[in-house]
């Protein structure tokens, strides 16, 4: 229960939006143990496990970018492997083949039968075979999930998605990439450094106020009032908005930002949203019907948010808080009055 709108938002963020600090600490500790104590020792435990390129390991996903809302259900890790002189041929950014020289005997065993083409499914399964010997994981929950080896901890609520990858040499533009499984046995390009650095830069430009806004809007996005867009799409729409509005900094009073974002989403959900990594192109793949429903909900909540701000400005805190509850649902705090 809260006396003011600002207090209500702070309580809502603490109790329903932001990750529990203790869970975050446990998750980071268990992640580090998994990588340092377990995965990095795999080549010592198995003669044919690929050589690691550990200095290029990278955390990715919303947990790494600090844009993850509750619940903490997955943690993404990319584990880099040494290419051992391998080369790759790029048909497109999401269809890449890696070719292994005969001298790379560890990788050679993971090629498609009778070829020197590295099979990403066999790489993932090699990880799973070694992870199966780690007693802290539930045996039934070690499996391949498209591009990752997914593990479920016995004692915690979150999964680990472990993605094997290769780090490329600089291309003709000087740029480097990560190559990860495409879920079909081949490989595709990505670069989580771009997403990570973009979130950090925009957040710093706006005095550290963007992370809470992203998490709050992800909660709004998951409410059963409209079709949910992909959270990565929503995150990038928000970052696009605040990248454009660098001279109108985000307020630390999060309620003031809601009308601006609802209005932006109402209109821009119909437009292309470009991948900031310049790899995927347009990431807004929603169909027109879903776009219309999201736009309609954003417009309704835009009007409600303006009304809530007006009520609060006139001193009607209880009515203002109740209006915000209409937007964010019954988990939003009630007024003490």
pLDDT digits (tens, 9 = 90+) for 281-313: 999 999 999 999 999 999 999 999 999 999 999
Q: Helices 210-222 and 317-328 meet at what angle, rounded to 10? A: 60
Backbone angles phi, psi at 2, to 5 degrees: -140, 150
**Residues 149, 162: Cα–Cα separation, whole Å:** 5
**Residues 150, 166: Cα–Cα separation, whole Å:** 19
**Residues 318, 34: Cα–Cα separation, whole Å:** 48
DSSP characters over 160-222: EEEEEEEEPPP-TTS---EEEE-SSSSEEEE-HHHHHHHHHHHHHHTTT-HHHHHHHHHHHHH
Summarize pLDDT for 166-181 with one digit per residue, the tens.
999 998 999 999 999 9
Backbone angles phi, psi at 27, to 5 degrees: -65, -45
pLDDT computed for residue 138 by the predictor: 56
Summarize pLDDT for 113-152 with one digit per residue, the tens.
889 999 999 999 999 999 888 776 654 455 566 778 888 7
Q: Does pLDDT of 218 surpass 70?
A: yes
Strands (E), the chain: 58-60, 74-80, 87-92, 95-99, 143-145, 148-152, 159-167, 178-181, 187-190
**Residues 162, 301: Cα–Cα separation, whole Å:** 38
Q: Helices 317-328 and 288-313 meet at what angle, rounded to 10? A: 170
CA neighbor of 201 nearest in space, from 211, 190, 188: 211
pLDDT computed for residue 1 by the predictor: 76
Please state the pTM of the whole predicted model: 0.94
Summarize pLDDT for 13-66 with one digit per residue, the tens.
999 999 999 999 999 998 999 999 999 999 999 999 999 999 999 999 999 999
Could you give the domains of the chain? 20-190 (3.30.460.90), 195-328 (no CATH)
């Amino acid at each position: 229960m809260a006396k003011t709108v600002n207090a209500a938002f702070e309580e809502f963020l603490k109790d329903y939006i932001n990750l529990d600090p203790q869970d975050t600490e446990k998750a980071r500790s268990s992640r580090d143990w998994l990588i340092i104590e377990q995965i990095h020792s795999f080549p010592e435990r198995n003669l044919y496990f690929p050589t690691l390129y550990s200095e290029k390991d990278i955390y990715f996903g919303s947990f790494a970018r600090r844009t993850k809302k509750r619940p903490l259900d997955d943690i993404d890790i990319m584990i880099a492997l040494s290419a051992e002189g391998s080369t790759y041929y790029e048909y497109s950014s999401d269809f890449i083949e890696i070719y292994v020289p005969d001298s790379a005997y560890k990788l050679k065993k993971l090629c498609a039968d009778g070829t020197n083409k590295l099979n990403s499914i066999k790489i993932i399964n090699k990880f799973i075979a070694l992870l199966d010997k780690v007693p802290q994981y539930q045996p039934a929950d070690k499996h391949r999930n498209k591009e990752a080896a997914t593990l479920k901890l016995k004692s915690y609520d979150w999964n680990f998605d472990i993605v094997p990858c290769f780090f490329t040499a600089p291309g003709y533009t000087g740029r480097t990439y990560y190559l990860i499984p495409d879920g079909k046995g081949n490989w595709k390009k990505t670069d989580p450094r771009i997403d990570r650095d973009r979130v950090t830069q925009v957040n710093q430009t706006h005095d550290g106020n963007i992370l809470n806004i992203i998490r709050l809007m992800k909660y709004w996005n998951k409410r059963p009032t409209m079709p949910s867009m992909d959270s990565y799409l929503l995150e990038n729409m928000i970052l696009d908005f605040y990248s454009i509005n660098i001279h109108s900094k985000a307020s630390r009073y999060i309620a003031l930002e809601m009308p601006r974002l609802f209005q932006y989403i109402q209109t821009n959900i119909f437009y292309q949203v470009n991948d900031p990594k310049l790899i995927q192109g347009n990431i807004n793949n929603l169909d027109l019907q879903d776009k219309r429903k999201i736009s309609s909900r954003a417009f309704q909540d835009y009007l409600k948010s303006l009304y809530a701000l007006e009520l609060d400005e006139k001193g009607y805190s209880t009515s203002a808080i109740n209006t915000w509850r209409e937007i964010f649902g019954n988990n939003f705090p009630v007024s003490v009055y």
